[in-house]
Amino acid sequence: MTDEKGIIKFNCKWIRKAPLKKELIKELNFWRDKMYRKKLIGVYANRIGYGNISIRHKKDQFIISGSATGKHKKLSARHYTTATSFNLAKNSLTAEGPIVASSESLTHAVIYKYDKKINAVIHVHDKRLWKKLFTKVPATKKNIEYGTPAMAKEMVRLFRETDLARKKILVMKGHKEGIIAFGKDLAEAGEVILNALR
C-alpha cells in the first residue's frame, strides 16, 4: 500500500477480529490520552492523523493503535489491533483486530525484536521538540521515509551505532515532527517524552 497522507505503506494482512478486552488497553489509553492532551498525538488541519502507541503483548506480538486514529479524542478497544507477525524482507505485517494497524507498525516491530527489554513504544509529533532534539538525540537519515522497511532498518542501525538504547528517544529526520520514544513500560516511554518537553 502507499502513503503520502497517512496511509499504510507496507503490506498489511489484516485479520478482522473482535476488539481486545478493555483491561488490555487501559494503560495504553491512559498514556495515549496524555499525549493527545499535549497535542503530541492528534490530527492536522488537513485531517491527516499523527502519532501512535503500542505495548508488547505475549512474546513476539504487540498491541498498537490503529491507522488514522489520531482524529479521535478518546480511543476504545475497537481502535487497537494486535500485530502478530512481520517480515521485513517482504515489507509485510499481520494484524488481528477490529482495525488495520498503524502505518508505523513495522518500526515498532523492529524495536521490539531488537531489544526484548523494551515493552512500550510511543510515536509523537511536535515541531518544536523535533527541532530541539535534532542534534541532541539519535536521528534517522533525512532520506528515510516513515512506515517503510528502510525506516525499520534505521532502528537497527541506530541501536548499533548510537546511544539510542540509553537515551530511549530518537528523531525521524525524514518524517517532519516525528519522534519515537520507548521504554521498559509505557510509564518510562511516556516520561522520556515528557522530560524532553520540559
Give residue-wise pLDDT tens across range 91-109.
899 999 999 999 899 999 9
Residue 60 has pLDDT above 60, yes or no: yes
Confidence class of residue 6 from pLDDT cuts 50, 70 and 90?
very low
Instruction: Yes or no: say if 189 and 182 are a contact pair by the CB < 8 Å rule.
Output: yes
Of 159, 40, 51, 163, residue with least CA distance to 110: 159
Q: Domain limits of the chain?
A: 11-197
Q: Is the pTM of this model over 0.75?
A: yes
Residue 147: predicted pLDDT: 82
pLDDT band at 113 (very low <50, low <70, confident <90, very high): very high
Q: Hey, which CATH number is domain 11-197, 3.30.465.10, 1.10.287.3240, 3.40.225.10, 3.10.420.10? A: 3.40.225.10
- The SS3 call for residue 62 is strand
Q: Is 78 left (phi over 0), alpha (psi -120 to 50) or beta?
A: alpha
> Grid coordinates representing 138?
539519535
Residue 7's pLDDT is what?
52
> What is the mean predicted confidence (pLDDT) over 16-29?
95
